[in-house]
Amino acid sequence: MQKIIAMFLMLGLGAAVGALEYDEQWPQWRGPTGNGVAPSGKPPVEWSESRNVKWKVTLPGIGVSTPIIWDDQIIVTTTVPVGTQQPPPTPSEGAHDNMYPEQHHEYIVIALSRRDGSTLWDCLTHTSQPHESTHHTSSWSSASAVTDGEHIIAFFGSQGVCGLDMAGKLLWRIDLGDMQTKHGHGEGSSPALYGNVAIVNWDHEGDSFVVALDKHNGNELWRQPRDEPTSWSTPLIVKPDGKPQAIIAASNRVRSYELQSGEVIWECGGLSHNVVASPVAADGHVYVGSSYEFQAMLGINLATASGDITGTDSVVWTRRLQTPYVPSPLLYGELLYFIRHLQGFITCVEAKTGKTWYGSERLLGTRMIYASPVGADEHVYVLGRNGLMYVIEHGSKFKILARNQLNDAFSASPAIVGDELYLRGHDYLYCIKQDVN
C-alpha cells in the first residue's frame, strides 16, 4: 500500500515540478556534466538557518552520500542500525579515527519530494552487520546513487550493488564480495552509468577490479583486474571521439577503459596513494589529482592518449602544489578550481594550460573540507564540514560574495537543481531557495 500511495504522490508532485531536461537534473554525484556544474542552476547566494531555507528535514540513520535528483525526487542512501549489540569487527591494520559497527544495519534507498522534503518511498535493500569499520566522519553508505530517469543504481560496497526503478522497487541486487579498505576507513566510490552499462570501481587492499553491470538485471558484462590498492575515486565516463570510455584515477595508474569491452585505452602514472578525488573532463582534456604522500595533478589530452602515456606529450601539464585530496575538483568553463588537500584553501587555474590564476586563497573558518565545490550562475560554492559555505565569484580573480552558516556537519557535496541548493548534513537535509522566509 505504501508504494502504491507513493506512486500516486510522485505522479502528482512530478507533474507540479515538471519534467526537466537532463542538464537540469542532478543525476549523479558530480551533477549532469560530471564536473560539479549545474548549467541552468540559479541558487541563492546568501542564507542562514532563518533565511532562504525552503525546508529542512531529518534523515534517518547514518549516511554521507550526496543526494541525486531527478524531476521531483531527491534520492539518498543511508544505513540504520538495528537489533541487539554484536561484537565489533577486528580493527584493520593501521586503523585510526574509526567507527565500529556494533549492530546489524539496514541499507536503505530513500526518495524525498523536492516540494517539501516528505518521503515518497523507501527501499530496504539488505540487512547485515558491516564486516569492517569506517572513518568516524563517514558512514557505511557513503556512495551516491546514479540514475538515468528510468533506473537507479545504488552502491553499498560490500553490502551489494542494487538496481531499482523510479518507484523504489528493488529490481536486483548482487554481492561483489567484501572490501578490505586501507586503515579500515570505509568505502565510498560511487557508480557511473551510461546507456545500459553501470561501472563500479572496486579498489581495495585485496584483489582489485573494475566491473561493468547491465543496469536492467545486474548481469556482469565484463570485469578487468586492477593492480591497485584502495582508492575512493568515482569513474568518469567521457566520449572524446564519440566512443564512451570510463576513466578511473588511482595510485599506480590513471586508466581509461573502453566502455563496451573493458579494454584499457590508455594509462598514466604520477598520482600518490589514497586517491580520493575523482576526474573531471571537458573539451577533450581530463584532469586528475591527489595529495597524500605527495602532491600531484595532471592535465591529459585525450585526443593523443593511447597506451602508456606517462611522461609523454599527452600529459600537457603537471602540478606539484596545493593539489586536492578529499574534495574533487570543479571544472567550470575554462577554469579548474580545487581545494588544497582537505584544508580551507582554494586554487583556480586555467584548465587547458595549468596556468595559476589565484591560490591558494584561504577560506577562513572552514576548517576541514570534505565536500567537493560546485558551480552555477557564475558562482562557486565551497562547503566546510562545520557548515560554513563560501560563495565565490566565478572568474580568474578571487572575490568572496558571501559566507553562510548552517548548524550541522557536512561531508556530502552540494547538489543544485534550478533555483534550489540541496545540502545534506549528518543530521538534516536542507533545501535552500531565495525569498522563502
pLDDT (tens digit per residue) in 90-106: 999 999 999 999 999 99
Q: How confident is the model at residue 436 (pLDDT cuts 50, 70, 90)?
A: confident
Closest among 213, 238, 363, 244 to 288, alpha carbons compared:
238
Query: CB-hemisphere CA count at 13 Å for 334?
Result: 8
Q: What are phi and psi of 240, to 5 degrees?
A: -65, -30
Report the amino acid identity of residue 229: P
Q: How confident is the model at residue 2 (pLDDT cuts 50, 70, 90)?
A: very low
Q: For 299-328, what is the mean pLDDT?
A: 98
Residue 300: predicted pLDDT: 98
Residue 18: predicted pLDDT: 53
CB 122 within 8 A of CB 109: yes
Residue 10: predicted pLDDT: 35
Residue 16: predicted pLDDT: 36
Report the amino acid identity of residue 43: P
**Share above pLDDT 70 across residues of the chain, in percent, rounded to a whole number:** 96
Q: For 25-36, what is the mean pLDDT?
A: 98
Residue 45: predicted pLDDT: 98
Average of per-residue pLDDT values in the chain: 94
CA distance 102 to 119: 28
* DSSP bridge pairs for 286: 281, 300
CB 18 within 8 A of CB 395: no
Residue 46: predicted pLDDT: 98
Residue 15: predicted pLDDT: 33
Q: How confident is the model at residue 19 (pLDDT cuts 50, 70, 90)?
A: confident
Q: What is the pLDDT of residues 199-248, one digit of tens each?
A: 999 999 999 999 999 999 999 999 999 999 999 999 999 999 899 999 99
Q: For 122-148, what is the mean pLDDT?
A: 96
| Residue 251: CB atoms within 10 Å | 23
Residue 306: predicted pLDDT: 98
CA distance 162 to 147: 12
Residue 52: predicted pLDDT: 98
- Above 50 in pLDDT, residue 368? yes
CB within 8 A of 110, min separation 6: which ones?
Answer: 59, 60, 75, 76, 77, 78, 119, 121, 122, 123
Q: For 117-145, what is the mean pLDDT?
A: 96
Q: For 162-179, what is the mean pLDDT?
A: 98
Residue 194: predicted pLDDT: 98
Residue 7: predicted pLDDT: 36
- Above 70 in pLDDT, residue 13? no
- Above 90 in pLDDT, residue 6? no
Going by their DSSP bridges, the two strands 315-319 and 295-301 should be labelled as: antiparallel
Q: How confident is the model at residue 63 (pLDDT cuts 50, 70, 90)?
A: confident
Residue keyed to cell 564519440:
242
* DSSP bridge pairs for 104: 82
Going by their DSSP bridges, the two strands 264-268 and 307-308 should be labelled as: parallel
Closest among 234, 335, 339 to 295, alpha carbons compared:
339
